[in-house]
Amino acid sequence: MTSETRNDAERLRRLTGRARVVLWDFDGPVCRLFAGHSAERVAGDLVEWLEGRGLRGLLEDEEREAVDPHVVLRAVDRRHPGSDLLAELEERLTQHELRASRLAMPTAYADPLIRTWAAVGVRLAVATNNSARVVRDYLSGRGLLSCFAPHVYGRTQDLHLLKPDPHCLRRALNATGAAPEDALMIGDAATDFQAARTAGVPFLGYARNPRKEKLLRDAGATTVVGSLELVLQVLRGA
């Protein structure tokens, strides 16, 4: 075990030991939402939908080639905030996410970790840029909705409040009555870390591959795990 790994394990024990509320990002820590319904294909569909309405010039070249549908959504939000066009585009993305949720791949050890935390009385919430409808649909299918309900906070029509803005984290904290220092955010993206830092919430990074880990550590995350199994082991040991 390297010194960095030992330090991560010790930080992990401290993080989980003091957490009274755990805020989960959805796509990544809970499941791979687009495992069976490609995010790149979804982004392409949103671009084609805009172009079919004569709006090709609305996007820059790099936005038209995006592999993340949220890049397309944010681009339209910057140019037409609060518009009917934006509302239709967001609903189209939600429908894609709903289809994707039926083919999503559960993240290894996420289900037992969620159930274990809930069983020992830790309150759980989801704070995500995905649609709350999609999260509830997935959690219901896994028999996990009762572990979170009613604390599922997702994308709203105010798209400027997507992470890295801490809006959804603060909604979760307010609803659960938790102080930021008594919570823990689990996320797999730099935007998750940035939102948690702004909200004053301790952060645990989940990285399913070295590229994800590098992005998290480059953003400033100090505790990153490659598997939720270690978190489960620490929790059960405690």
How much is the pLDDT for 1?
A: 43
pLDDT at residue 114 tops 60? yes
Q: What is the pLDDT of residue 9?
A: 73
* C-beta of residue 185 within 8 angstroms of C-beta of residue 126: no
The count of other CB atoms within 10 Å of the CB of residue 82 is 12
Computed over every residue of the chain, the mean pLDDT equals 94
pLDDT for res 10: 81
Instruction: Indicate whether this model's pTM tops 0.75.
Output: yes
C-alpha distances in angstroms, 77 versus 39, 62, 161? 19, 16, 11
In this structure, the dihedral spanned by the alpha carbons of residues 138, 141, 142 and 144, taken in order and rounded to 10 degrees, is: 80
Q: Please give the pLDDT value at position 195.
A: 98
* Distance, CA of 212 to CA of 189 (rounded, Å): 7
Helix, strand, coil percentages in the chain from 3-state DSSP, rounded to 5: 55, 10, 30
Compute the average pLDDT of residues 192-209: 97
153: alpha, beta or left? (left if phi > 0; alpha if psi -120 to 50):
beta
Centre a 10 Å sphere on the Cβ of residue 91 and count the other Cβ atoms it contains: 11
CATH superfamily of 3-33+104-237: HAD superfamily/HAD-like (3.40.50.1000)
* One-letter amino acid of 16: T
Pick the more confident residue, 84 or 9: 84
> Is residue 73's pLDDT more than 80?
yes
Q: What is the pLDDT of residue 11?
A: 81
Cβ partners under 8 Å of residue 164, min gap 6:
190, 191, 192, 194, 195, 198
